[in-house]
Structure 1
Amino acid sequence: MAQQTCQICLEQVDDILTQLCRRTCPAAVCINCTREYIKVKTRSVLQGVVAKLNCPICIRPINLVRWHELLGDKDEEIFQFQERIRVACAVKCPWCSTMQTMLPSPHDSMPPIKLPASLARHIPQLKTLCGRYCRHHLSAQALYSFIRDTFQQYSSQILDTILPLIHDTERRAMLFLRWRRDEPFIKTPCCNADVCFSCHTAGHHTGQPCSSLESNEDIAQCPECKLHFVKSDGCDSMTCFCGQYFSWQNERMVFQFKKISPTSLS
């Protein structure tokens, strides 16, 4: 095989990776530069922030399963990147003080879902939307809204079933976090203790808003991943770690309204 030029180091090498994010992807990057890129990207991501691992050339997000295909299942840099994402779904048990992620582990088999016939007919569409979501062609909000509005009282059962089938840690975490914004009350797997996932406090404060952030008026949330931001200066245009662009003033106002009416504006 003829050597090709790496678009990052400009060296002529044999181990060139191509078609990183799609079949028409123009990238041609050597394995060493790819691993170094992922290492730098991993170190730049804050612990617990759900970030995407984009193509280094065309900046499109790439499913982490695709990265495993390119670099191998046991690539250490990909593993470290995934571990930082899992922290975003972690809570501390109020009884044993163990910090553990609530993000479901991936598996390949799908247990049968008992649904009324009127809802079961939507499963093919759900599979299609999940495929689009995993390819970064659909947002977590859009997929979650479809599940919630279509399956209604069965939505939690659907989410419990499909989350482990999403092998991309970032995609799985984004959907999990979106779900837990609406249903934050969980039980820890170690002690079966009640915890609010949103404010990480012990107990289920049903009917009362989370109090951990109520005193600060200068907080906004990313409209995509819901990461909280505090800003002291700079312009109104913001870019989240997940890649979402938003207006600081707009999202700050939205966050303040949510504190006033947390259920109607969720």
Structure 2
Amino acid sequence: MTTDHPMDTSARCCDVCLEPVPLWESVIKLCGDTCAAHLCVECTEAYFDHHLSAFLPGLLTKAHCPICLVPMPKHKYMPYVQPDLLEYAAKCVFAASELRCPHCDESTPFVDAWSSRPMSPLRLPKTLRQKLPWLRRLGTKFVRYKLAASTLFDYIRSTFSDYADVVYMHTLQLIHDPERRATFAMYELHKTRLVFTPCCGKAVCFGCKTAGHHEICDAGEASERNTVVLCPECNIPIVRGDGCDSIKCVCDTYFSWQEQVFVAEERSRNARFQAVLRLPHGARSLKRVLEYCRHLVWRSRFLDVVWHLKVHRFRCVAWPVLAPRLRACVQHRRFNAVLGQLRSTMRHRSLCREIHARVCRIEAVKTTMALVLHEMRIATARPSVQPAAKLEVVDDTAKAPVDYVMAAMA
């Protein structure tokens, strides 16, 4: 008896137990289409039972492929895990968002409470409904570990603006993977920090877990004192004991310690800067500080140039010519500073304009007089053969200041 499609009875060894497994009973493409895994069902179930049983409450631990070692979404390993173990793993990752209520002393995970809410229909304007297909695409990439939670959250905030909270809750409830849902919710909690407990509705700061809301919490101050950094993926505090700068978090995220220290310092600096801006006269004070710093920079540069010219003072022609000009620059800059203060305190613009015009005219006369006197010194110091010619030069140059002054005054 012949058949057109004979059955493939070949077998291949399991990658874990090395026992021969028929191809129709083997587990292939476990984490994706490019996965090279070839396992038996028994080894696959044993691996995920052991892996999910090792989950710790409060940590955003991911399930990884035993061969490719990449994170796997829930629908990939769910057929090989018992339902009670799946529930235990979900409770462990949801415990990361747990917060004790300061009023009734009850602890409820925010992600678990949000998941139990009934999902109402999403009503958006027509212009925003056109952006939902792209949002679904980004959500799919996030569930498949191809997109960061920050990218998805920032897209919702920037695109849906007034409807961002509604779209965020709707997106969160549509994510069925417990780890992905908890990761997305934890990013939003650490971003806003102002939360209300599900039991009593009391305002709590999620950063330092205390009642009320404040911009700079104790967690940020502790980070500045003890060099505590936050994981870029799950945002849990991490302290390095020793070793190299390559850090692996419990959520299997790799990052550089020095880079995260720089990020923590920059975040603390920005928080202090925003706190100063919120003061009644914070913006004005910062503006004055910036002007003073700019003046110090300009002064240091000016002194460097002057010192360089003093060192080369043997150039008798360059220094006498540049010195009056430098003094004039300093006086002009001081005058502009005083004039700016007058503009800010006086409302008589015509008076300020008249002062500026007269002072500029006086400065022009002073500059002209300095140049003429310098030319006179050079002319008198120049050797001459005929005394009469020397007297004529002196008489001509003596008349020159009058002509220059009249021209400048005109």
| In 2: Cα distance, 1:65 partner to 1:201 partner | 37
Q: Secondary structure at the match of 1:53?
A: coil
TM-score normalized by the length of structure 1: 0.87
CA-CA distance at 1:172 after TM superposition: 0.6
Structure 1 stretches of 4+ moved >4 Å: 1-4
Rg (Cα) greater in structure: 2
Which residue, 135, 146, 152 being the options, matches 2:144?
135
Q: For 1:81-105, what per-residue CA distance to the aligned partner results, in whole angstroms no more than 9, with x for missing partners? A: 2221111111111122111110032
Q: More strand per residue: 1 or 2?
A: 1
Which structure ranks higher in relative contact order (CA pairs < 8 Å, sequence separation ≥ 6)?
1
Pair 1:7 & 2:15 matched? yes
Q: For 1:153-205, what per-residue CA distance to the aligned partner results, in whole angstroms no more than 9, with x for missing partners? A: 32111111111110000111111111112222111121222222222112223
Which residue in 1 is equivalent to 2:210? 201
How many equivalent residue pairs? Answer: 260
Sequence identity (%)? 33
CA pair 211-49 structure 1, distance change in 2 beyond 3 A: same
CA RMSD of aligned residues (A): 2.5
Contact 2:49 2:85 in 1 (8 A): yes
Structure 1 residues 76-85 or 140-149, which shifts more?
76-85
Which residue in 1 is equivalent to 2:35? 25
**Structure 1: runs of 5+ lacking an equivalent:** none
TM-score normalized by the length of structure 2: 0.58
| In 2: Cα distance, 1:249 partner to 1:101 partner | 32
CA-CA distance at 1:123 after TM superposition: 0.9
- State the AA in 2 paired with 1:90: E
- State the AA in 2 paired with 1:212: A
Which residue in 1 is equivalent to 2:96? 88
Q: More helix per residue: 1 or 2?
A: 2
Pair 1:249 & 2:258 matched? yes
Contact 2:231 2:237 in 1 (8 A): yes
Which residue in 2 is equivalent to 1:210? 217
| In 2: Cα distance, 1:256 partner to 1:27 partner | 43
1:67-216 residue pairs with structure 2 within 5 A? 67-68=77-78, 70-71=79-80, 74-103=82-111, 104-105=114-115, 111-205=120-214, 208-215=215-222, 216=225
| In 2: Cα distance, 1:136 partner to 1:85 partner | 16
- State the AA in 2 paired with 1:214: E
1:34-53 residue pairs with structure 2 within 5 A? 34-53=44-63
Q: Secondary structure at the match of 2:115?
A: coil
Contact 1:35 1:77 in 2 (8 A): no
- State the AA in 2 paired with 1:12: P
Contact 1:106 1:166 in 2 (8 A): no
